[in-house]
Amino acid sequence: MAQRCLKFLKYTMCVANFLCFCCGMAVLGLGVYMMVNFRMAALLPTLVIINIDKMLLICGIVITCVSFLGFLGALKENRCLLLMYFLLLFLLMLVELTAACLLLVFEGQVATMIEDDLNKSLKEAKANSTDPVLSEWDLVQNNFDCCGVNNVTDWEDNVPKSCCLSKCSSPEPPYKRTGCLVKLKTLFEDNFLTTGISVIVLCIIEVLGMCFAMTLFCHISRSGLGYKL
């Protein structure tokens, strides 16, 4: 009975880590796609280090590496690989919890930095109509259905076409009323609870993965198959 349970545990780990590996590859591909097509460094230079595309790229690489390590360790019943898998999951959980706590503590400062970056980039876009910052503003204003930082008056006499609700050829075209800063804040607030729940669920999955890995590790140690290849 114990052998059947351990075999079930082993193949469950293999299947779960294979699915995580596929998810990691998908996240990695999404990060590469966003890095190529959505460049926001000129729009938010202060927060360039935490750009979503780079975060997705790093997360995809980490997920694929760790899941492959867990899959191979469970399949081969290798004690060293299982121990490395356990330690990496533990470190990842600590990093996730630390990042979540820092986000809670510095939430207000991050919002202030975003506002300052938007104001600076908008000033640059108004000064030069051919600047790449303007194309990024067009991208944001089209995707979020907004105009300017606070409203259309931020653009003064250089209102871009992406601010128009319809055609801009009329003498007084209708403009989008909501500013992009409000839209971005609303987006973060709406996804704040979802992000928190996702972190909690991810930590639970990681704890289960660590428990499974340590159970297999102890069984392999007792059976004398610690260095099976």
Question: Which tens digit of pLDDT belongs to each residue from 182-228?
Answer: 887 777 777 777 777 777 887 888 888 888 888 888 887 776 554 44
Domain segments of the chain as ranges: 2-103+198-223, 113-181
Quickly tell me which residue has 């230079």 as its tokens.
45
Contact 177, 42 (CB under 8 A): no
Contact 64, 212 (CB under 8 A): no
H/E run at residue 223: helix 180-223
pLDDT at 41: 53
Global pTM exceeds 0.85: no
Most confident of 99-108, 136-145, 206-215: 206-215
Contact 216, 191 (CB under 8 A): no
> Which amino acid is present at 229?
L
pLDDT-above-70 percentage for the chain:
80
Task: With cut-offs at 50, 70 and 90, classify the pLDDT of residue 39.
Answer: low
pLDDT at 228: 45
Quote the CA–CA distance of 127 and 183 in Å, as a whole number. Answer: 24
Quote the CA–CA distance of 220 and 153 in Å, as a whole number. Answer: 69
Quote the CA–CA distance of 142 and 150 in Å, as a whole number. Answer: 15
Quote the CA–CA distance of 179 and 122 in Å, as a whole number. Answer: 12
Nearest to 213 by CA among 79, 100, 97, 25: 79
For residue 227, the cross-strand partners are 78
Task: Using alpha carbons, list the distances in angstroms from residue 6 to 1, 3, 54, 74, 217.
Answer: 9, 5, 39, 11, 11
The Cβ of residue 12 has, within 10 Å, a number of other Cβ atoms equal to: 12
Q: HSE-up of 223 (CA within 13 Å, CB side)?
A: 16
Looking at the domain 113-181, which fold is it? Answer: Cd81 Antigen, Extracellular Domain; Chain: A (1.10.1450)
